[in-house]
Amino acid sequence: MTQMNMIEAIRSALDVMMDKDPNVVLMGEDIGYFGGVFRCTDGLQRKYGEHRVIDAPISEGGIIGTAIGMGVNGLRPVPEIQFADYIYPGFDQIVSELARLRYRSCGEFFSPVTIRTPCGGGIRGGQTHSQSPEAIFAHVSGIRIVMPSNPYDAKGLLISSIESDDPVVFFEPKRIYNGPFDGDPEKPAVSWASHPKGEVPEGHYTVPLGEAEIVRQGSELTIITYGTLVHVAIAAVEEVGVDAEIIDIRSIAPLDIDTLTESVNKTGRCVIAHEATRFAGFGAEIAARVQKDCFYNLEAPISRIAGWDTPYPHAFEWQYFPGKKRLVAGIRNMMEVE
């Protein structure tokens, strides 16, 4: 075991997979010689060569489109889109091609592409470097959507994603690249060094796709969340002092719905928290499933705590971000319902 932050864990996953499988190739903007704007591919081009860690033109549609073709020709491409906010020029290639190729060719053709992309706010990125577009992709049948919340899961889930024959969009919440973030920007930054999930094996291991994790056991309330907000939820629960169960869903699609509904059937209360805007957000899907499967055990209406339905404003980042204050208030409101 080694202490790794999320960047190191992701780099380690890529290193392990490139070493294990010569068909794994990386491509993206600034990822080669320079090692990526967030350093996730630092040193990999030196180790594996320019033919396997490829600096790409600034063309997200081209990166994803050509990665699909590489995958059809037997490679296992892991393209990086520098910010999730930049992924939209490649949207048609993801939705109409990557997600549909296996289906429309009845399995004769597929392309095992894993698209890595940093998402989320909290780094003063403004509206073009802060978005969380996971729900837009979750609506598309045929792609897996993953978002880890810690270094251990990031490495294990990324290895699973690369090994999977399904296409994966792998969202990396960049606010927690260097340390868990409890949603309070005033507090000094914490590193992963003291966190149990910062303990990462150096070699190959997997965290299965499609399985949620119960981060905290509890009996009074279930908080369903993922990404950065896992850590905000933990802090909020400590502050309120409620015996909450916190679930990190990790795989957004396909979704491990059973773990969620079992928990809510036990606790009777459900708060869903995500950083993305609320309207038609992924929380709506969870809420619909939970109310159907847990209706007779619910003691309060399901509540969603999310980013406001505005673009991510640069100067009002912390008013936008669903931080600890909003979660604490949401939990208290829910516990007041008799």
Residues annotated as catalytic (active site), given as ranges: 129
Among 66, 178, 297, 333, indicate the residue that binds another protein (CB under 8 A). Answer: 66
Min separation Cβ 209 and another protein, Å: 10
| Neighbouring residues of 320: CB distance < 8 A, sequence distance ≥ 6 | 121, 307, 308, 310, 312, 313
Among 34, 43, 96, 243, indicate the residue that binds another protein (CB under 8 A). Answer: 96
> Residue 225: what are its φ and ψ, rounded to 5°?
-155, -175
For position 14 contacting another protein by CB under 8 A, the verdict is no
Write out the H or E segment, with its range, that includes residue 329: helix 324-336
Pick between residue 67 and residue 290 the one whose CB is nearest to another protein: 67
For position 21 contacting another protein by CB under 8 A, the verdict is no
Min separation Cβ 231 and another protein, Å: 28
For position 291 contacting another protein by CB under 8 A, the verdict is no
For position 254 contacting another protein by CB under 8 A, the verdict is yes
Amino acid making up residue 122? G
CA distances, 66 to each of 25, 62, 171 (Å)? 12, 6, 20
For position 52 contacting another protein by CB under 8 A, the verdict is yes
> Residue 137: what are its φ and ψ, rounded to 5°?
-85, -30
For position 196 contacting another protein by CB under 8 A, the verdict is no
Beta-bridge partners for 78: 26
Among 21, 33, 34, 165, indicate the residue that binds another protein (CB under 8 A). Answer: 165
Among 262, 254, 260, CA closest to 273: 260
For position 33 contacting another protein by CB under 8 A, the verdict is no
Among 2, 59, 194, 319, indicate the residue that binds another protein (CB under 8 A). Answer: 59
Pick between residue 56 and residue 328 the one whose CB is nearest to another protein: 56
Min separation Cβ 121 and another protein, Å: 28
Among 68, 162, 247, 290, indicate the residue that binds another protein (CB under 8 A). Answer: 68
Phi/psi zone of residue 122: left (φ > 0), alpha (ψ -120 to 50 degrees), beta? left
Alpha-carbon span 18 to 204, nearest angstrom: 11
Count residues binding another protein (CB under 8 A): 48
Min separation Cβ 79 and another protein, Å: 10
Residues near another protein (CB under 8 A) are 25, 51-52, 54, 56-57, 59, 61-62, 64-75, 77, 89, 92-93, 96-97, 100-110, 141-142, 144, 164-166, 210, 254-255, 257
